[in-house]
Amino acid sequence: MTTDGGAKLRKAFEAAKQVSIGKMIVSISPSGPFLQRFTSFVDLVWFGSYREAAFQVPDGNTISEIIIGYAPGMRAFIAGSNTHLESLDISKCSLDRVPQTLPKMTKLKYLSITQCKITVLRLNMLADNQYLKNLDLSYNQIQQLLPVTGRPARMLSIETLTLPGNLLQNLDLALFVAMPQLLNLNVLKNLIVSLDVSAPIALPNLSGLYLGYNKLVSLDLRNLTLPKLETFSFGPNALTRMPILPRPLPKLNYLSLSANNLTQLDMTYFRPYPNLQKIYITSNQITTVRASSPVRLQVDYLELSNNKITTFNITGWDMPNITLLNLDGNQLSVVPSVFERYPKVYLFMNRNPVLCDALLPFKDRLKNYQLLKDPWPLSKACTTISSFTVDETMKICCDQ
């Protein structure tokens, strides 16, 4: 920076709310004392590229948000006493741990350190940051989470914990007892083969639990109490049987078990969840769907596409609110008798070997797309053995 560079910057900020500097060369680090020179008239600093080994925030700095977008050589973030910084976002760096000076940033609400080299998350490190609500450590190299220690254990204020793309293999959900305000927990795309709840705990505010894209073959969450859980996503994984979930889950609305290895579906499994409305169990190995005893469900969307279903028996189960039933990509040769009970439901049956004779009674529903079964323009040839015309523009491809 030239000798009058500071004055030029100050004039630029006086004239505009936002100033972009394509490249800045300084004789000292662009953090630390240099950063302090502009603290009186800058509220947010964004470094698109940062080339120093350390970033310093001096004592008493009043900047409220710092973003460091690309810092492959940065190995340390050092903060002095600070009561103004509320948001810190660092990505593509060489930090191998959460900064040890984190407790000095007492008003920090949002911390994101992504695509760096953190290997261990010690929850004790977060205990002094009682304003911290959102922690994102996605795409690091985290292999271990260490619980809060001490008697009595200090509670954390975290509401959203985001950990996808790390290297976790074993996870004990009991350690999250130190996060009573936790709303969303995301551990997608790790290497988890074992997920445990080693002691009975309650997560009284948890609303969303995201465990997909791991390697779990079974799941038992009976030790959890989750009175406010609304969304549970567990696919893809390697489940061969339905997970054992807490009972009850009074607020559960959305359940996804897609891309597992389930082979049977008994609809009575969903009886304990009175407010469950959306079920996604796609891309499994399910051959039979039935109810082993009478059950009434509030489900309005049932997604079972890309399985191997040959038997779909709705005897004994009632879904008065069902509006969409997706059976695309299965092995059904007849149309399930759903329209008799639910005349307004939309039924998707593309890529099923349904016979033409079985489809003809539903010609009106095919015409208005209430039943969707491989509609095809009249001018194009079907890949199936046979077809029949629905109207002047469309035909249905089906087997003889």
Residue 381 lies in a domain: no
Tell me what pLDDT residue 14 has.
57
Residue 154 lies in a domain: no
pTM: 0.91
Last residue of a domain, one of 85, 117, 149: 117
> Which helix H or strand E contains 303, and what residues bound it?
strand 301-303
Residue 304 lies in a domain: yes
Residue 241 lies in a domain: no
Residue 337 lies in a domain: yes
Last residue of a domain, one of 78, 99, 117: 117
For residue 147, say if its preceding peptide bond is cis, omega within 30 degrees of 0: no
Tell me what pLDDT residue 350 has.
96
Q: How far is CA 117 from the centre of its chain?
A: 22
Last residue of a domain, one of 80, 101, 117: 117
Q: How many CB atoms lie within 10 A of CB 262?
A: 21
Residue 175 lies in a domain: no
Residue 269 lies in a domain: yes
Residue 250 lies in a domain: no
Count how many domains the chain has.
2
**In tens digits, what is the pLDDT along the chain, a chain of 400 residues?**
445 555 656 665 555 455 455 555 555 666 767 777 777 778 899 999 999 999 999 999 999 999 999 999 999 999 999 999 999 999 999 999 999 999 999 999 999 999 999 999 999 999 999 999 999 999 999 999 999 987 677 899 999 999 999 999 999 999 999 999 999 999 999 999 999 999 999 999 999 999 999 999 999 999 999 999 999 999 999 999 999 999 899 999 999 999 999 999 999 999 999 999 999 999 999 999 999 999 999 999 999 999 999 999 999 999 999 999 999 999 999 999 999 999 999 999 999 999 999 999 999 999 999 999 999 999 999 988 899 999 999 999 998 7
Cα separation values, 69 from 46, 116, 207, 330, Å? 7, 11, 30, 46
Two tokens, residue 116? 């760096």
Report the relative pairing of strands 65-68 and 44-47 from DSSP bridges: parallel
Q: Which domain holds residue 81?
A: 1-117
